[in-house]
Amino acid sequence: MKKRVGALDWANIAKDLDAHGYATTGALLTEKECDALTGTYAHEELFRSRVVMARHGFGRGEYQYFSYPLLPILAELRAAFYPLLSDIANRWNEAMGIDVRYPREHAEFLARCHASEQTRPTPLILRYGPGDYNCLHQDLYGEHVFPLQVAFLLSEPGADFQGGEFVLTEQRPRMQSRAEVVPLARGEGVIFPVHHRPVQGTRGIYRVNMRHGVSRLRSGERYTVGIIFHDAK
Ligand SMILES: O=C(O)CCC(=O)C(=O)O
Ligand SMILES: [Fe+2]
């Protein structure tokens, strides 16, 4: 996985994140890996909790947080993406005047989370059926936040489901919000900010507040896996 992730065009990913607030990976997970991850949903023993979104006003559909120890593929994705994203995260924090810096190794950042009672794993799998959607939100789970996350589409758009588009919004200071719809292929990941990002304006750099969600499924079934790098309280 380290090789596969390392082989992505990271200069271009950084450029897209800076310019548009997200970047896509192209099909990174194989069909077999997508099927295997989708198949985990039924295995309760792999999860620490299940959330029915409608019960919390989060939308419609459900998701489950994996427990530790994570499945090898999830542990590998977390460890492989983190060092490359930490460079961008550190550059962004510097640009936004935020003091926090991220160590180069994910294990070291997790130790920081765990020392502050953020010990519960956050990688998750989401399942949507007809009419389901995910309200715009931010995945903040405590004081420690790694500012970028990745979501992988496990289902085949147009064949397994219709609708259900990944949506990002950015709220600029004193301006109206702007939305981006991110088309994804099966196995493709989208890298996006957890809560904010720096934008170069005419009078310096300002912070833009970001949210993500999923538009309503018209039909079928859609699964995604989310890789979040901070743990939860
Ligand atoms: O299902 C999706 O595409 C959204 C996933 C999500 O909210 C996340 O990974 O944090
Ligand atoms: Fe999310």
Are 37 and 227 contacting, i.e. CB atoms less than 8 angstroms apart? no
Alpha-helix residue ranges (DSSP H) falling in 57-164: 72-96, 106-115
Q: What is the pLDDT of residue 227?
A: 98
Output the six-digit token pair for 54. 């409608």
Q: Which ligand is nearest to the CA of 213?
A: 1
Q: If you measure from the C-alpha of residue 128 to the centroid of ligand 1, how many angstroms do you get, rounded to a whole number?
A: 11
Ligand 1 atom having least distance to the Cα of 227: 9
Residue 40 Cα distances to 7, 13, 162, 176, 220, angstroms: 27, 29, 22, 40, 18
> Mutation test of ligand 1: which of 122, 125, 134, 210 has the most ligand atoms closer than 8 Å to its C-beta?
134
Q: Which two tokens stand for residue 127?
A: 């399942």
Ligand 1 pocket list (CB less than 6 A): 126, 134, 139, 151, 166, 212, 214, 224, 226
Q: How far, in Å, is the centroid of ligand 2 from the Cα of 227?
A: 9
Domain annotation for the chain: domains and CATH numbers: 2-227 (2.60.120.620)
Residues paired with residue 124 on neighbouring β-strands, in sequence order: 65, 226
Q: Which residue's C-alpha comes closest to atom 8 of ligand 1? A: 226
Query: pLDDT tens per residue, the chain (233 residues)?
Result: 999 999 999 999 999 999 999 999 999 999 999 999 999 999 999 999 999 999 999 999 999 999 999 999 999 999 999 999 999 999 999 999 999 999 999 999 999 999 999 999 999 999 999 999 999 999 999 999 999 999 999 999 999 999 999 999 999 888 899 999 999 999 999 999 999 999 988 889 999 999 999 999 999 999 999 999 999 99
State the ipTM, two decimals.
0.99
Rg (alpha carbons) of the chain, rounded to whole number: 17
Between the CA of 134 and the centroid of ligand 2 the distance, in Å, is 8
SS3 letters across 176-215: CCEEEEECCCCCEEEEEECCEEEEEECCEEEEEEEEEEEC
Residue 90: the pLDDT is 98
What is the 10 CA–ligand 2 centroid distance (Å)? 23
Pocket test for ligand 1, best of 22, 62, 126 (most atoms within 8 A of CB): 126
Any residues with CB less than 8 A from the CB of 56 and at least 6 apart, and which? none
